[in-house]
Amino acid sequence: MTGCSVEDATCGGGEYPVMSIGGTGSACVSNDEEPPKGYTRYPEGKVPKHVGDEWDTYWQTHTVDEDGKIVEVPQGG
C-alpha cells in the first residue's frame, strides 16, 4: 500500500467523455468515433478528467443546449 491516492478517470484509455445535450448525462466514446446522437463533446477547456474534479462537479448543474450554449439545468430537471 502506498501513500498515493488514485483518482477515478472519467473515461478509460482510448476514450473521451461526451455529454448529453440538454441534460446532465455523460458517456465515453472511442477516440476514433464521433459522439452518438443526442450527445456532444464538452466545450474546450471544460472537460472533466476525473470523477469529482472541478468540471465533473460543474457539469452536474450545467449542460449545453441544441445551439451549443452553456445553460444551467433547472432544479429537479
Q: Has residue 45 been placed in a domain?
A: yes
Give the model's pLDDT for residue 1. 41
> From CA 66, how far away is CA 39, in angstroms rounded?
10
Which stretches in the chain have pLDDT values below 70? 1-7, 76-77
Give the model's pLDDT for residue 74. 80
Q: Has residue 47 been placed in a domain?
A: yes
Q: Which domain holds residue 41?
A: 15-65
Q: Has residue 6 been placed in a domain?
A: no
The pLDDT tens digits of the residues spanning 12-28 come to 999 999 999 999 999 99
Q: Has residue 77 been placed in a domain?
A: no
Q: Has residue 20 been placed in a domain?
A: yes
Give the model's pLDDT for residue 75. 73
Q: Has residue 76 been placed in a domain?
A: no
What's the structural domain count of the chain? 1
Residue 56 three-state SS: helix
> From CA 8, how far away is CA 14, in angstroms rounded?
15
Residue 26 three-state SS: strand
The DSSP element (H or E) to which 54 belongs, if any, is helix 54-58
The DSSP element (H or E) to which 62 belongs, if any, is strand 62-64
Q: Has residue 33 been placed in a domain?
A: yes
- For residue 60, give the C-alpha cell: 452536474
